[in-house]
Amino acid sequence: MSGREPRIHGHCDARFAAVRTAFEENFRERGELGAAVAVTVHGETVVDLWGGWADTAGTRPWQRDTVVNVWSTTKGPVALCAHILADRGLLDFDAPVSAYWPEFAAAGKEKVLVRHLLSHRAGLAGLREPHSFADLCDWELTTTRLAATEPWWEPGTRSGYHALTYGFLVGEVVRRITGLLPGAFLEREVTGPLGIDFTVGLPEKEAGRAAELVHAPNPATADRAESFGRMPPVAVAAVTNPVIGAAGANTPEWRAAEIPAANGHGTARAVAALYGVFAGRGTLGGRRVLSPEAAERVREGQGRCRDLVLGAGFEHETEVALGLWLSGPNGSYGPNPRAFGHDGFGGSCGLSDPEAEVSLGYVMNRMGPHIADDPRKMALIEALYSAL
């Protein structure tokens, strides 16, 4: 990679100079390759910065319109789809999933509620049978297998992170109601009308704008084997069936597929806008997307617990609301415990704080090794709140 120090582009209001400083420090001190950060306050963009390299070789500078796969940060926009339908009276979070998806009632799942899908409490964090990368790219196959499988634990009692299955579960309910996959529904209802540069998957014609993902350094093979050996079977199923990393996510097959838990592509500006819908209590750019009541409901906590999938990687309990994670006493999304957001595999993040009317989007291509709360993200959040 080029040894030149990357230039930072864009704008940052003087009041938020600390955010620019933290962003620059991410390159100098925290191994950033290419990245962007955007912040909105009271619906106005106050930070919109980008810099570094869109490729490992350091030959393509990160541009204003560079997009990148944001992994699980995609789950926020997918949750937004469900909340739009609920707001319109088309979806009842307290109804059984089988009311919309009859086949889902198989294998003891007749009492699984829609709210259990949104809060990672459905007991379907991973499939029991082998599921390949090609299988994952097949919507019908994946949803058929999820409908037929039995839960790993009693639904509704605990959360267990549905890393890949979340998007198929919530997304199939969206499809059954609207006839559209969640990516198309999001485009029709939100990103298209509001001009937000975010897609589930990536159209082939946009591939030239995509940053190359670079995987986090792998621990020694023996350490990895020992780590997997300590994981409960449900966690192994959730994170290794199939194993997807940077190499797979850089392929045309991944970008062409609809994997709504993990293959959203966009800019930091787009992430800040989408999470800004919640920060604005349902409005963005003067346009109402959700009623205030529906926007508030997204952070309706479902109970703190030690997550059955992520528990080995967290030293504390966490709480998932109806589609997003609460900041809580851990401060994952700033000092307001009622703030909320979602991290993406390797470091990306969307944040919403309705009390401060603040949203943040952070995207990058060099993936870190942290399950959540990547130091680069946390540095940006700390700098943001220091300026408020």
- Which residue numbers are catalytic? 72
E strand or H helix at 71? none
Report how far residue 230's alpha carbon sits from residue 236's, in angstroms, rounded to the nearest whole number.
10
Q: Tokens 């080995």 label which residue? A: 312
Find the DSSP H helices in 119-214.
133-136, 139-148, 165-178, 182-186, 192-194
> Does residue 242 have a cis peptide bond before it, meaning omega lies within 30 degrees of 0?
yes
Strand spans (E) along 158-284? 198-200, 264-266, 283-284
For residue 90, give both structure tokens. Answer: 């088309």
E strand or H helix at 41? strand 34-41
Report how far residue 131's alpha carbon sits from residue 225's, in angstroms, rounded to the nearest whole number.
20
Q: Tokens 């086949």 label which residue? A: 103
For residue 195, give both structure tokens. Answer: 């001009």
3-state secondary structure 325-337: EECHHHCECECCC
